[in-house]
Amino acid sequence: MTGELSPIDKAKFVAARRAADFVEDGMRVGLGTGSTAAWLVRCLGEMVRDNGLRIKGVPTSTRTAELAREVGIEVITLDEARWLDVTIDGADEFDGQLNLIKGGGGALLQEKIVATASDQMIVIADAGKEVETLGAFPLPVEVVPFGWKTTQALIEETLISMDVLGRSSTLRMNGSQPFITDEGNHILDLHLNRIGNPRQLALVLNQMPGVVENGLFIDICDVVVLGFGDGRVELRDINEGTVQHDKMDFVEGDNLFGDLAD
């Protein structure tokens, strides 16, 4: 590994390493998108290479699919898998009830479809992703390109009656052009600051014409694996009501993950 990883990257690494223990031989595994999920894909690739782990991965984006193939994971579609044993993904925010905001990487639609088609969803995160109330991270909403400005205006008008602190939104850009999702849609980022009733907001947003899906994941996550820069890991199981603490060994010389450092 070239240079020492930052504490945040170490936290992501140990969370991913611990979450990989949930994956067993023969499983169909949903593979998330984003910087934290990339650590998990690399960990699973190492297990495939070194331990003979046999799994089938269902990626939530084209870039995750490329990485999975690169590290030796067999990639199949969700239609081929039909149902998954587990999905492991990151999150932009999570609260005490393990409700999430996701979509910072632009793959929220496929991420939500894959997560809800799984027996269990596990989120891997560093401690900075935990919040008392969702909303500090902009809420992504995937919208169809046709009439997106009208959809944006409708969303902002509707937010007046919602329990939120902010009501502005911005079209996500990729350089000088709108960001395009894998499904060919745009993303509006809602700057809400605080979401008082995320369940209500998720339902209202998805009733609007032009909205494809929103980044609120309510009652979907089962376990959060929280990593810390010193190698500590905390597992919170919302169904069992348990909290478990572990300590993972971190090998600084392991260069399998060197290209994932921010």
Residue 253 pLDDT greater than 50, yes or no: no
The confidence score (pLDDT) of residue 261 equals 40
Which tens digit of pLDDT belongs to each residue from 71-98? 999 999 999 999 999 999 999 999 999 9
Which tens digit of pLDDT belongs to each residue from 32-69? 999 999 999 999 999 999 999 999 999 999 999 999 99
* Claim: this prediction has a pTM higher than 0.75: yes
Is 202 assigned a ligand-binding role in the annotation?
no
Mean confidence (pLDDT) of the chain: 94
Residue 251 pLDDT greater than 70, yes or no: no
Is 50 assigned a ligand-binding role in the annotation?
no
Contacts for 79 with CB less than 8 Å, ≥ 6 apart? none
Query: What is the residue extent of each domain of the chain?
Result: 7-129+219-251, 139-212
Q: Which residues are catalytic?
A: 111
Q: What is the mean pLDDT of residues 87-112?
A: 97
Of residues 118 and 6, more confidently modeled: 118
Which tens digit of pLDDT belongs to each residue from 8-30? 999 999 999 999 999 999 999 99
| Class at the top of the CATH hierarchy for domain 7-129+219-251 | alpha beta
Q: Percent of the chain at pLDDT above 90?
A: 92
Is 104 assigned a ligand-binding role in the annotation?
yes
Which tens digit of pLDDT belongs to each residue from 157-213? 999 999 999 999 999 999 999 999 999 999 999 999 999 999 999 999 999 999 999
Is 126 assigned a ligand-binding role in the annotation?
no
CATH 3.30.70.260 for domain 139-212: yes
Banded pLDDT at 250 (limits 50, 70, 90): low
Banded pLDDT at 2 (limits 50, 70, 90): very low
Is 21 assigned a ligand-binding role in the annotation?
no
Is 33 assigned a ligand-binding role in the annotation?
yes
Which tens digit of pLDDT belongs to each residue from 227-248? 999 999 999 999 999 999 999 8
The confidence score (pLDDT) of residue 255 equals 47
